[in-house]
Chain A
């Protein structure tokens, strides 16, 4: 009997020893970073830019953050909210990653935020602007390195009313969360500064038959139009707006997404348009110039706002890890460090709001040739109101 008991004791001891060494190894072994980004479909280029930006920062640190080598696990998010939970669980449950970076599509990001909240895995969102991620869904382990839909929109509203002196405006967007959040942000900024949004036009996503709505705009003759579209819809809308002859009489405003990455296709029709975003071409700061040169050297590509957001996601991870001495398990230290950090971003330094969204300068840009040239800083250090966040 005693031999059996001794054997059991020995086995238990070995098991504990194995566990202990595994736990110890976690502090010094490779840090597992799960990249859940679009690697297929319409957003592929965005996913690639984010990954490039992230890896650029890590490479600049010699491939290590706080002495820990980085091991990447990649999952294609397919830009499909229906598959989002399964896909993120591949990283959380199968690969046991320490941190997840993703993604572009807001619907997918919401599912990821939910999974991260439940499992406690650190999540850094490098693009999706859904207000809810740092609003009602906010959590100590969820961070965003990009923007909330409210931010550039609110800034454009203020610019339109204050600087441009517009009184009456109309908004137009797809009837979906990002569109609603954006036009509401504009309305808030515009009306707080004395303007009035008369009418809010919408159409079903991703419908691009704008003719009826353009007819309506032409008849109502507002002082300005604020539009939120992205990708193909943005190209089509800006072109149609010009084809209808509206750009000559009614200026078209929008968040940067209306003209970012779409200028090649928009060509003549976008010239002179004003948009707002947390990044612009020709910032011409030492930090941004160095970043642009390094990026162009590494990837033979010009960086864009997505690359910046990926780069800053890695910076935020680096800051947190440094405070936790490489052990991401030290959650309190990790989170506190990022909350207090000043991120030295190519876009200009930014800090974190209480809900973990960047408090950042929003720039006013003007389309000039194939660039969104910096005009001025629309609002310095704009924080998202983070409505609904309890943390």
Chain B
């Protein structure tokens, strides 16, 4: 492998990893803070992709505007969903959460089938991001993928800043460790949870929207990403955003280079990685011992 190819594969790895992080961060936020095992999280990613497919014709080349509109819609959807279903789940045990959220997957898939059908769709890359960035003869890389990576980096930094540096983040972190204490301080925990949940849904949907022009929009796309996200959360350590980021990048590299160098093992690369990490650190890379 020459240097240019190696560089491009590194970019591929980072881009894939960052996209996974965007989905996994919402999952880990909802699990880490509210303690809900949300199997339906992959569906939010799928809903995002179908949102992009439905909205793209309306917005034309106003891709950024479309992302904003999609995020707003997804957040409203998440807020309502929390109010209607998830708010009842916090005090339940994990088995009930798994059953309920699995049921939601079936409902979402059926609704998707009724509303947009079972076909595979493509979403056009906006004209201003079409084409490739060339670095002499060394390498060339699609602009859209660079944009996707940049967008994910901005979001990751933003998320880190919100959780670790703001008043809202402080309330979130406090609410995660001691719900009653936070309520005692006069903070509306119910509303706080609702906002966090809406944010988690919006993040997954945004990832779906960004992914849509790169990976086509198809039924069951949520299920495949969900499995990888759970692997990420386990590798990174449950509830840790930094852990999820580290794990995402690691999985991005292992999956990309695994596909290229060990084609026959391509399906199990990330699970091998998970096994190795768990043997070495059973609580995950950034997990706390409990």
Contact = CB atoms under 8 A, between A and B. Distances in A.
B122 A235 contact: yes
A175 B122 contact: no
A211 B216 contact: no
Interface string A184-221: 00000000000000011111111111011101101100
B87 interface: no
Interface stretch (B2-10, B175-183, B187-195): B2-10
Contact of B215 (A41, A208, A215): A208
B12 A219 contact: no
A217 B218 CA distance: 25
B121 A207 contact: no
A388 interface: no
Interface string B210-243: 0000111011100010000000000000000000
Interface string B248-261: 00000001110110
B16 interface: yes
B1 interface: yes
B41 interface: no
B12 A236 contact: no
A232 B120 contact: yes
A244 B141 CA distance: 9
A208 B212 CA distance: 12
Given A219-B1, A239-B216, A212 B120 contact: no
Contact of B5 (A41, A206, A208, A219): A219
B263 interface: yes
Most buried by A among B132, B145, B218, B259: B259
A296 to B, nearest CB: 22
Interface in A210-247: 211-213, 215-216, 218-219, 231-232, 235-236, 239, 243-245
Contact of A231 (B8, B120, B132, B256): B120
A42 interface: yes
Nearest to A173: B263
A175 B16 contact: no
A244 B8 CA distance: 12
Contacts of A44: 118
Given A200-B263, A204-B267, A212-B259, A265 B5 contact: no
Contacts of B218: 208, 232, 236
Given A201-B263, A203-B259, A236-B215, A211 B16 contact: yes
Given A209-B16, A219-B1, A265 B267 contact: no
Nearest to A213: B259
Contact of B216 (A201, A207, A235): A235
B1 A232 contact: no
A200 B262 CA distance: 10
B264 A175 contact: yes
A212 B9 contact: yes
B118 A207 contact: no
Interface string B152-186: 00000000000000000000000000000000000
B199 to A, nearest CB: 26
Q: Which 7 A-B pairs give the minimum distances between C-beta atoms?
A: A232-B120, A204-B267, A219-B5, A232-B218, A212-B256, A236-B216, A202-B263
Given A41-B118, A219-B1, 12 more contacts: A204-B266, A208-B218, A211-B16, A212-B13, A212-B16, A212-B256, A215-B12, A216-B5, A219-B4, A235-B216, A236-B216, A236-B218
Interface of A: 41-42, 44, 175, 199-209, 211-213, 215-216, 218-219, 231-232, 235-236, 239, 243-245, 265
